[in-house]
Structure 1
Amino acid sequence: MKLLRSFEEFLFEATSWLVFYPLTLWRVLVRPLETMAYSDAEQGDGEAGRYDDALTPPLFLLITVVLMNGIALMAHLPKPRLAGTLQHAIFDSPQNAALFRALIFSLIPLVAAVLLLRRQGVRLSRESLRPPFYAQCYLAGPCAVIMIGGGIIFQRQDVSNLYGLLLMLAGLAWFLTAQTRWFAGRLGIGVVRAAGLAVGALVLALIFFVALLIPLALF
């Protein structure tokens, strides 16, 4: 009976994603700051009722990356040249590749959340890091769609690279605008300083991304 109940709960949860994933994506795209504020408010709810009408932010980001990884597979893109054992272990498996990309895109929420806490003078801990990290995961979802989608266009031979570039630029403008407004609202600072923090957080995330690629290239 416990096994049947566990399967029943899993079946309901998995099928509910078909409803709540597009709803969550639409809310993030149209009202990013309201959705991030919703995430902050949900952190104070009990475990049972938390994120009852949306996907949890990390799950939203993970599903987004998995879906985009599936689209990349269906596009029949040429496989990158793999040299090291670690590269084969990651990119020969669609599951490992999706998890690796999810890890990469989670660097953006992590860096932005840590930067916010430092600016607020809040002690860094798992409990203090969780709310801003979760809110930032909502923002990272569309970012993953745009960046991976642009990369797919760049690798297609039958589509102009201009479309991929325009998609990435539009997505970057949307992301930095939302990130700037978030920093400005949370820290009570001007738009110029908030924009500097948004750009700085993105640059730091890219630096950490390159640092992760170094052992991947060597091994």
Structure 2
Amino acid sequence: MDFLKLLRSLEEFLYELCTWFLFFPRTLYRVIVHPRRMAQYVNTELSQKLERQFDDAISPPMFLMLAVLVAHGVELLMHQTVAGTSELSRTVMGNEESLLLYRSITFAIWPLIATVHLLRRKRVPMTRESLRRPFFMQCYLTAPFAVALSTSMVFVRLPGELSTTLGIATGVISAGWYLVVQAGWLKVALQRSWLNSVLSALWVFALGTAINMTVGIVLLGS
């Protein structure tokens, strides 16, 4: 009986894995081309029954984690490895699972900050329920940025001036796209002016960057 349960679990996992190959690029395309529409899509899907949610896409947190995984795959294809320089960093980066978890949390910082910023500006109490909807939206909006930024760092670390230039250009374009999308999302969500929304987007981006840089420095210096 337990063996049959194991087989059914493996069957379900295999099916889910195969659907990722179909829905990940499709969802990525939809988020890049229609970010506001995908934010509204989260609103619609979270109103559905649990088993019907995100039936034609990948759920936002999983989508963000898969984006990190894809970027890590590019890193492996380029034969790059991340080695810790301290005991703490070697613990975090010593195996694939902990490295991917660390990077997923790193990129999830931006959605969390944007969500907290939104709720504070709207004076909405922070609960698990009030955080869920905007956080899910932000996971969608952050995933393309995560893929592009991580890939740009891969190119920057490659030898050669051309690869470095390509990496920097990719990083700048991805950050620019993220800021524009973030400002548009905040403008609609907060009903504020473009100037106010751009300043809010810059604040979210700067705070997330500062937190991640601080964590990186602590890891490397410990």
> Where on the TM-score scale, by shorter chain, does this alignment land: which range?
over 0.9
| 1:6 partner letter | S
Answer whether contact 2:75 2:81 (CA < 8 A) is retained.
no
Asked whether the 8 Å contact 2:45–2:54 carries over to 1, the reply is yes
Question: Could you tell me which residue of structure 2 aligns to residue 141 of structure 1?
Answer: 143
Amino acid at match of 1:195: V
**Does 1:43 find its partner at 2:62?**
no
1:72 aligned partner: 75
**Structure 1 residue 109: Cα displacement:** 0.3
Deviation at 1:78, TM superposition (A): 6.0
Q: Are 1:59 and 2:62 counterparts?
A: yes
Q: Is the 8 A contact 1:69 1:94 kept in 2?
A: no
Larger deviation: 46-55 or 204-213? 204-213
The aligned runs of 1:27-38 (5 Å cut-off) are: 27-38=30-41
Residue 112 (structure 2) aligned to one of 92, 105, 110: 110
| Match in the other structure for 1:123 | 125
- Give the number of aligned pairs: 218
The aligned amino acid for 1:87 is S
CA offset digits 1:18-53 (Å, max 9, x no partner):
111111000001001111110122111111100000
One-letter amino acid of the counterpart of residue 25, structure 1: L
| 1:201 aligns to 2:212 (yes or no) | no
The alpha-carbon distance between structure 1 residues 188 and 45, as it changes in their structure 2 partners (threshold 3 A), is same
| Distance (Å, rounded) in 1 between the aligned partners of 2:214 and 2:130 | 26
1:16 aligned residue: 19
Choose the corresponding residue for 1:217, options 203, 215, 220.
Answer: 220
Q: Against the structure 1 CA distance between its residues 218 and 161, is the aligned structure 2 distance closer, same or farther, given a 3 Å change threshold? A: closer
The SS at the match of 1:106 is helix
**1:132-169 deviation per Cα after TM superposition (whole angstroms, max 9, x unaligned):** 00100011111111111111111111443221121111
C-alpha RMSD over aligned residues = 1.5
Instruction: Show CA shifts across 1:51-93 (max 9, x none).
Output: 000000010010110111121122123644x332221112221
Identity of aligned pairs, percent? 32
SS in 2 for 1:76: coil
Please list every run of 5 or more consecutive structure 1 residues that lacks an aligned counterpart in the other structure. Answer: none
Q: For the Cα contact (< 8 Å) 2:67–2:143, is it kept in 1?
A: yes
TM-score of the two chains, using structure 1 as the length reference: 0.94
Which of 101, 104, 115 is the equivalent residue of 2:103? Answer: 101
CA spacing shift, 1:78–1:66, aligned 2, 3 Å: closer
Q: Which runs of 5+ in 2 are unaligned?
A: none
**2-structure distance, mates of 1:22, 1:218:** 37
Distance across 2 between alignment mates of 1:2 and 1:124? 39
CA shift for structure 1 position 218? 4.0
